[in-house]
């Protein structure tokens, strides 16, 4: 599959590397065509490419959105939305404000009554946004078995049921998430909840001194 990973940070690179290792053709995207991190990422890899955000979106059957949450709106506004038509966007982003220290708060524009997931779906109405993986650390995103043999829960949401099923399948085939541990929270508006718990997640990380943990829902 051709997969576009928009974002050259640790998350984008971690996801892109795992996808290449699983046999996909991956283009990592950034604001510029000659981004140093993207070029370095491509080196010594097969089926790995670098391009602009637009080129990576155009290349892709499925897109991972791994951009800094504070800049997603302006980034998408600057892109040609046609590149995203009918494509699934797996949105791992969080709208965090670190300006007042740790743990972060949610950027005011996305707290309580609106979320980044909804914003992305509204900006790209012909794409199918699925919020996923934003509630775990990057290394765990791509290998669920690093915690409790994979027995822990992942939340996803989105408006398109078929798109969510495709994402569940992709996460299970490539990143070892057990389908029975993926909780479909409902439509994209549930991003408010999935993004809202992230400052709490950061607080737990500080308390237990590791990011390598996740939620297990017990009934």
Ligand X SMILES: NC(=O)c1ccc[n+]([C@@H]2O[C@H](COP(=O)([O-])OP(=O)(O)OC[C@H]3O[C@@H](n4cnc5c(N)ncnc54)[C@H](OP(=O)(O)O)[C@@H]3O)[C@@H](O)[C@H]2O)c1
Interface residues with ligand X (CB under 6 A) are: 7-12, 30-32, 35, 66-69, 71, 75, 92-94, 96, 134, 137-138
5 phi/psi in degrees, rounded to 5: -115, 110
Please give the DSSP secondary-structure letter assigned to residue 22: T
Nearer to ligand X, 139 or 176 (CB): 139
From the CB of 65, what's the least distance to ligand X, in Å? 8
Q: Is the peptide bond before 41 cis (omega within 30 degrees of 0)?
A: no
Strands (E), 61-197: 62-65, 88-91, 96-97, 105-106, 128-132, 154-158, 182-184
Question: For ligand X, which residue has the nearest CB?
Answer: 9
Min separation Cβ 219 and ligand X, Å: 26
* Nearer Cβ to ligand X (71/219): 71
In angstroms, what is the minimal distance from the CB of 212 to ligand X? 11
Nearer to ligand X (CB atom), residue 71 or residue 200: 71
Nearest in space to 145 (alpha carbons), one of 64, 207, 212, 66: 212
Q: Measured from the CB of residue 192, what is the shortest distance to ligand X in angstroms?
A: 15
How far apart are alpha carbons 49 and 16 in whole angstroms?
A: 10
Distance between alpha carbon 205 and the CA centroid of its chain, in Å? 19
Pick the closer one to ligand X by CB: 96 or 163: 96
Among 34, 114, 119, residue whose Cα is nearest residue 76: 119
User: What tokens were used for 180?
Assistant: 């029975």
> At its nearest, how many Å lie between ligand X and the CB of residue 82?
20
Please state the closest distance from residue 74 (CB atom) to ligand X, in A: 7
Residue (73 or 176) nearer to ligand X, CB: 73
Which of residues 9 and 125 has its CB atom nearest to ligand X in the complex?
Answer: 9
Q: Which residues contact 116 (CB under 8 A, 6 or more apart)?
A: 69, 72, 91, 93, 94, 95, 110, 191, 195
């Amino acid at each position: 599959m051709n997969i576009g990973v928009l974002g050259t940070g640790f998350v984008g690179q971690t996801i892109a590397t795992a996808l290449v290792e699983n046999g996909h053709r991956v283009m990592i995207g950034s604001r510029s065509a000659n981004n140093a991190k993207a070029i370095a990422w491509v080196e010594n890899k097969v089926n790995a490419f670098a391009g602009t955000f637009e080129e990576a979106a155009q290349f892709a059957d499925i897109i991972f959105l791994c951009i800094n949450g504070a800049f997603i709106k302006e980034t998408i506004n600057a892109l040609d939305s046609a590149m995203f038509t009918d494509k699934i966007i797996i949105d791992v982003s969080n709208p965090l404000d670190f300006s007042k220290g740790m743990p972060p708060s949610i950027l005011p524009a996305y707290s309580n009554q609106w979320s980044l997931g909804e914003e992305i779906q509204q900006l790209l109405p012909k794409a199918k946004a699925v919020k996923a993986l934003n509630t775990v650390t990057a290394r765990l995103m791509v290998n669920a078995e690093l915690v409790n043999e994979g027995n822990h829960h992942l939340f996803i949401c989105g408006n398109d049921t078929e798109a969510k099923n495709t994402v569940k399948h992709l996460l299970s085939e490539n990143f070892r998430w057990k389908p029975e541990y993926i909780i479909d929270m409902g439509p994209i508006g549930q991003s408010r909840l999935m993004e809202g718990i992230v400052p709490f997640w950061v607080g737990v990380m500080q308390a237990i001194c590791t990011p390598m943990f996740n939620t297990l829902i017990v009934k």
